């Protein structure tokens, strides 16, 4: 019969091992020092998920004379703080203390303190400046050309807008690798990563973070994101997609096996997508009988808007949508965080190209189908 001491020792050892293996839940402190407008009210903290595009309330506390103190037990990650009609995002990590204040005009909340939040603030500044420099001028030029009814200029500036946005995302990758290693701000930045640019280095950054924070939830999420990027590499078998057509009939990508398929993510509100639809129409008519198919996956939320755009653009190819907007599992499966996005898939189901548009897509299809005709 085992002694009481041996039973106690074994039980204690088991508890120690279980505690060691369990994910860690670390805390951070959120302090408030607010002007009289915020004398009373309730501060709400939510955890943000890039994967579901949802926010989950994890803590709240009342404000007393403009002050509050809140201990948040949730671990490193991306958060939102809400007070009255104001909200702002921030990054926090283990054992950090952050302060919530108001801007000079009291129209915005500010979160300061902690090295991870400082890095997130720098990232957001870089992101805004990069977008203003590379994307906004082209987008404004598209709008001006459209108001003049100059469709040739609309197409030209749309192509430049898409190229500018791609360069913008690469700059975000560059900043991530130069500045965010080891920080929870990695997760905040990961939503807009270009998975085809410096992926090995992004993988190394995530692995290094995982070694520092093996039990953190965002470690698992970052690791999963890298895995999805790998699964979408050129030469990989394309993940299957399934959704309802505009008529409500289920359709799968795998149903189209044996054809060359362009999986195109788009939306009725996406200007560059609508411009590209006109080009797709010509290519579809030219190569459909040779084995070319388009599966358009919409991230619309409105069924009528989706169907009206299909009709207006004479988009006679295949369409599916779960009408979940950016919360769409279809978009998440392909790590699509910006539009337009496309994947060219060969008859065996392998990804052979990504984001081909305009002349580049035409040239690729000409090459593929001239070879198949020999």
Task: Summarize pLDDT for 239-256 with one digit per residue, the tens.
Answer: 999 999 999 999 999 999
Question: By residue range, what is the domain housing residue 71?
Answer: 24-112
pLDDT given for residue 357 in this prediction: 86
212, 231, 250: which is the final residue of a domain? 231
Residue range 21-39: average pLDDT? 76
With a cut of 60, say whether residue 374 has pLDDT above it. Answer: no
Q: 158 and 203 in one domain?
A: yes
What is the distance between the alpha carbons of residues 14 and 31, in angstroms, rounded to a whole number? 38
| Lowest-confidence pick of 3-12, 274-283, 344-353 | 3-12
Model confidence over 34-72: pLDDT tens digits?
988 887 889 999 999 998 889 999 999 999 988 999 999
pLDDT given for residue 347 in this prediction: 97
Spatial contact of 342 and 357, defined as CB atoms under 8 Å apart = yes
With a cut of 50, say whether residue 11 has pLDDT above it. Answer: no
List, in sequence order, every beta strand (DSSP E) within 299-360: 318-320, 341-345, 351-354
Q: Does residue 341 lie in a domain region? A: yes
Q: Does residue 55 lie in a domain region? A: yes
What is the distance between the alpha carbons of residues 330 and 65, in angstroms, rounded to a whole number? 47
With a cut of 70, say whether residue 158 has pLDDT above it. Answer: yes
Q: CA-CA distances (angstroms) from residue 284 to 163, 193, 315, 351, 356?
A: 24, 31, 9, 19, 15
How many domains does one find in the chain? 3
45, 79, 112: which is the final residue of a domain? 112
Residue range 177-189: average pLDDT? 97
Q: 308 and 203 in one domain?
A: no
What is the distance between the alpha carbons of residues 103 and 101, in angstroms, rounded to a whole number? 7
Q: Does residue 3 lie in a domain region? A: no
Of residues 340 and 14, more confidence is placed in 340
Residue range 191-196: average pLDDT? 93
Q: 342 and 281 in one domain?
A: yes
Model confidence over 290-305: pLDDT tens digits?
999 999 999 999 999 9
pLDDT given for residue 9 in this prediction: 43
């Amino acid at each position: 019969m085992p002694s009481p001491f041996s039973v106690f020792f074994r039980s204690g050892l088991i508890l120690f091992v279980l505690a060691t293996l369990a994910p860690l839940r670390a805390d951070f402190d959120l302090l408030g020092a607010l002007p009289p407008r915020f004398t009373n009210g309730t501060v709400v903290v939510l955890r943000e998920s890039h994967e579901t595009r949802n926010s989950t309330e994890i803590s709240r506390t009342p404000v007393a004379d403009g002050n509050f103190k809140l201990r948040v037990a949730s671990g490193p990650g991306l958060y939102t703080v809400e007070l009255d009609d104001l909200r702002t995002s921030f990054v926090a990590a283990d054992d950090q203390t952050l302060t919530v204040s108001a801007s000079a005009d009291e129209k915005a909340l500010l979160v300061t303190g902690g090295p991870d939040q400082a890095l997130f603030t720098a990232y957001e500044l870089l992101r805004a400046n990069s977008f203003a420099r590379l994307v906004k001028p082209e987008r404004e030029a598209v709008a001006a050309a459209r108001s003049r009814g100059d469709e040739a200029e609309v197409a030209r500036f749309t192509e430049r807008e898409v190229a500018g946005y791609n360069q913008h995302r690469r700059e975000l990758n560059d900043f991530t690798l130069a500045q965010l290693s080891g920080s929870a701000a990695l997760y905040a930045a990961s939503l807009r990563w270009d998975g085809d640019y410096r992926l090995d280095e992004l993988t190394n950054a995530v692995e290094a973070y995982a070694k520092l924070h093996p039990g953190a939830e965002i470690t698992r999420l970052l690791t999963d994101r890298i895995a999805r990027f790998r699964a979408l590499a050129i030469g990989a078998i394309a993940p299957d997609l399934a959704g309802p057509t505009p008529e409500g009939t289920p359709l799968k990508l795998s149903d189209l096996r044996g054809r060359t398929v362009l999986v195109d993510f788009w939306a009725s509100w996406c200007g560059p997508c609508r411009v590209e639809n006109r080009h797709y129409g010509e290519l579809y008519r030219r190569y459909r009988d040779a084995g070319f198919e388009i599966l358009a996956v919409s991230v619309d939320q409105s069924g009528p808007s989706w169907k009206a755009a299909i009709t207006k653009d004479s988009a006679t190819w295949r369409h599916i949508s779960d009408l979940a907007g950016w919360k769409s599992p279809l978009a998440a499966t392909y790590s699509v965080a910006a539009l337009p996005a496309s994947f060219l898939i060969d008859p065996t189901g392998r990804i052979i190209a990504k984001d081909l548009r305009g002349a580049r897509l035409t040239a690729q299809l000409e090459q593929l189908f001239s070879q198949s005709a020999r």
